[in-house]
């Protein structure tokens, strides 16, 4: 039996582009196959390169990704328009297990672009109130100009307990200031027997946020994190994402904290 070539790409059509900040745009693509929140694809433009980008949200016919303009490939993607196609392969990774959070007192702590991979998941629990006992969201950004999905965050704030904070405020900012960790002790569900927490963001932020959650009684097993690594092949061959015996592209990028704590880089 002939082996399938898993490095082959398929065309991904751009339906819509929405700038969120000067360097973060949300791309809406045409895609209708099954997905899990938190999985990723290897996007590419032939001749320029490939990059791993996580899925932010999806429905039956479309998928959204928030992409930051940081290098050769993303610069080129930012030059695309609705109607263009780029190349793609995937999905890769395990993604979040929605069943795990169903019926829980769910806490979502997202730092910066870490909000992108949990956007769809959060939206699901905001719009399906009965899916969990309670929902608390803390999302923080470096400064007001870095905030993603402002309109949707404002919408969520009307429906669920949401804290939007910035590390550094400006003259015109009237919202919360402070690191996300400062708002964790105030959460009323920390000692609940049904508590589940999801933490996504830069490594240092995840470290301190998870420490804060544990300090206030959330069991390690009930905390879920998502890792970012320099995925190159996405297939478990190139070794770039390997941490100890774990391949982040195969066994992750979503891990329980119990497992993640022993992944020493």
Partner 1 sequence: MSYQVTHDQFRELFQMLTVTYRIYGPTLFVNKAEVSDCDYVGYRELLSYDDLITNVKSYFSPKEALFPPREVLFSFGSDHAIVPSDDLKPVIIFLRACDINGFDRLDTLFLQNGKDEDFYYKRRRDKVHFFLLECAQSFDSCFCVSMNTNTTAKYDAAFRFTDESVFMQVNNSVFESYLSIGELSDFMPRFVTENKSTVPVPDASIDEKIFFDPLWDEYSRRCIACGRCNTSCVTCTCFTMQDYSTGSDTSERRRRWASCHVQGFTDMAGGHSFRKKHGEKMRFKTMHKISDFKRRFGINMCVGCGRCDDVCPEYISFAECIRRVSKLSDQYKNDTDKG
Q: Applying CB under 8 A, which residues contact partner 1?
A: 3-9, 44-51, 68, 70-71, 74, 202-203, 228-230, 232-233, 235-240, 242, 244-245, 247, 249-250, 262, 264-265
* Pick 25 or 183: Cβ nearer partner 1: 25
Nearest distance from residue 259's CB to partner 1, in Å? 13
* Pick 151 or 265: Cβ nearer partner 1: 265
* Pick 4 or 158: Cβ nearer partner 1: 4
Please state, in angstroms and rounded to a whole number, the distance separating the CA atoms of residues 198 and 96. Answer: 9
Nearest distance from residue 23's CB to partner 1, in Å? 11
Nearest distance from residue 31's CB to partner 1, in Å? 20
* Pick 116 or 187: Cβ nearer partner 1: 116
Nearest distance from residue 148's CB to partner 1, in Å? 15
Q: Sign of torsion, CA 88 91 96 97? A: positive
Please state, in angstroms and rounded to a whole number, the distance separating the CA atoms of residues 208 and 146. Answer: 21
């Amino acid at each position: 039996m002939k082996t399938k070539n898993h490095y082959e790409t398929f065309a991904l059509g751009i339906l819509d582009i929405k700038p969120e900040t000067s360097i973060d745009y949300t791309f809406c693509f045409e895609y209708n196959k099954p997905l899990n929140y938190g999985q990723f694809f290897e996007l590419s433009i032939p001749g320029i390169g490939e990059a791993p980008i996580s899925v932010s949200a999806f429905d039956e016919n479309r998928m959204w990704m928030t992409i930051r303009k940081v290098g050769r490939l993303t610069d080129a993607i930012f030059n695309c328009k609705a109607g263009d196609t780029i190349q793609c392969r995937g999905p890769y990774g395990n993604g979040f297990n929605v069943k795990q959070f169903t019926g829980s007192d769910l806490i979502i702590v997202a730092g910066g672009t870490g909000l992108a991979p949990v956007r769809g998941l959060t939206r699901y629990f905001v719009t399906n109130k009965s899916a969990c006992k309670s929902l608390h969201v803390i999302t923080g950004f470096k400064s007001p100009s870095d905030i993603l999905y402002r309109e949707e965050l404002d919408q969520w704030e009307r429906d669920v307990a949401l804290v939007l904070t910035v590390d550094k405020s400006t003259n015109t900012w009237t919202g919360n200031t402070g690191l996300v960790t400062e708002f964790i002790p105030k959460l009323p569900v920390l000692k609940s027997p049904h508590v589940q927490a999801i933490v996504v963001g830069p490594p240092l932020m995840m470290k301190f946020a998870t420490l804060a959650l544990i300090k206030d009684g959330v069991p390690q097993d009930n905390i879920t994190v998502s890792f970012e690594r320099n995925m190159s092949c996405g297939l478990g061959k190139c070794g770039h994402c390997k941490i100890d015996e774990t391949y982040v592209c195969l066994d992750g990028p979503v891990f329980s904290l119990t497992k993640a704590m022993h992944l020493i880089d």
